[in-house]
Amino acid sequence: MHSIEQLQNIINKAIAETKYTAKPAELYEPISYLMQLGGKRMRPVLVLVSTELFGGNVSNALDAAIGIELFHNFTLMHDDIMDKAPLRRGNQTVHVKWNESAAILSGDVMFVEAYKLMIRVDDSILRKVLDIFSDTASGVCQGQQADMNFEKRDQVSLEEYIEMIRLKTAVLLAGSMQIGALIGGAKKEQADLLYEFGENLGLAFQLQDDILDVYGDPEKFGKQVGGDILADKKTFLLIKARELAKGEYASELEKWLNKPGISPDNKVNAITDIYNSLGVRKLAEAEMENYVRKALNALDKITVENSKKTLLRGFAEQLLIREH
């Protein structure tokens, strides 16, 4: 089996060699621009890893892997418009470099191009793959809308939050792995177990992201620590804190929420202190570890040699290594 780095190189080479020659150029140039900004390529890598897990050849899964990456970047392009984000991976976002209309239309074409790549899978699994991809795409959009709805609501339950991140984040990891498994020749039951692995892993990743946004090392985390706090974003930590806070803690927490014009540093420090007093970091870590264990339990049930599972097992277990 290939290493993660080798698979990333295969994917990056394929993306670099993809040329969009259709006209008008203004419709396709933003696609090439965004796709070549880089990134970890985690989702297409998981497509290829899953194919190899069941003895398949990565060359047979490469089109589907690039299709998944196109879809992921389509969601990023439209997310950037909704968030009015000026930068993506240190470069101008598409709607800033071109304009909003161009970004919307190019994003739409990216979605179409993703489907054009996905239908290149073998005819014997085409219907299954398209069903998975369509359900995954719908789920991601449902999750994004739920996240936007949460911004307008004062209270969100943990159950609602977990379902939102399952749709917005986890189903794309899970669907990527399920598609890769089918291309590799996996039976439905085995592909479903890999979906279960990917879904739980995706939930764990998002919970880790919530934790690192408050407690991470800015250099390692790659973005501003405390960003979620400043945006009053309803994360696991905030929802749990509001659930647990009583008396003075409750009034102090509400004092800092949805209040414009206050010092960013003071707000981040004050709310972090409340989190520490209520112990929500440990609760978030315990929840994250729970999903990692669920993922590993699903992986254990897959009937391939344990040596082939090493890469995926390591992928999951790295989440259990805490950085203080």
Does residue 322 register a pLDDT over 60?
Answer: no
Q: Express each pLDDT in 148-205 by its tens digit.
A: 999 999 999 999 999 999 999 999 999 999 999 999 999 999 999 999 999 999 999 9
Phi, psi of 166 (to 5 degrees): -60, -45
Going by C-beta distance under 8 Å and a sequence separation of 6 or more, which residues neighbour residue 124?
none
Provide the pLDDT confidence category of residue 303 given band limits of 50, 70 and 90.
very high
Average pLDDT over residues 130-148: 97
Average pLDDT over residues 121-148: 97
pLDDT exceeds 80 at position 318 = no
Rounded average pLDDT over 88-98: 92
Highest mean pLDDT among 1-5, 16-20, 285-289: 285-289
Q: Residue 223 — very low, low, confident or very high, per pLDDT cuts 50/70/90?
A: low
Dihedrals φ, ψ of 21, to 5°?
-100, -5
- Cis amide bond preceding 264, omega within 30: no
Between CA 264 and CA 123 the distance in angstroms is 55
What is the tens place of the pLDDT at every residue in 206-222? 999 999 999 988 766 65
- CA dist., res. 35 & res. 137, Å (int): 18
Predicted pLDDT of residue 324? 38
Question: How confident is the model over 220-242, as a mean pLDDT?
Answer: 87
* Collapsed DSSP state (helix, strand, coil) of residue 323: coil
Return the CA Rg of the chain. Answer: 21
Cβ within 8 Å of residue 190, ≥6 positions away: 54, 181, 302, 303, 304
When mean pLDDT is compared across 19-23, 76-80, 263-267, the lowest value belongs to 19-23
Alpha helices in 257-305 (DSSP H): 264-278, 280-300
- Rounded to the nearest 10°, the torsion over CA 286, 288, 289, 294 is 130
Residues 6+ apart with CB under 8 A from 294: 196, 200
pLDDT at 321 exceeding the cut of 80:
no
pLDDT in tens, 237-257: 999 999 999 999 999 999 999
Q: State which amino acid sits at residue 230.
A: L
Cut 0.75: pTM above it = yes
Whole-number pLDDT of residue 127 = 98
Structure tokens at 229: 């706090």
At 259, the pLDDT band (50, 70, 90 cuts) reads confident
Is pLDDT above 90 for 316?
no
Per-residue confidence (pLDDT) for residue 275, from 0 to 100: 98
H or E element at residue 187: none
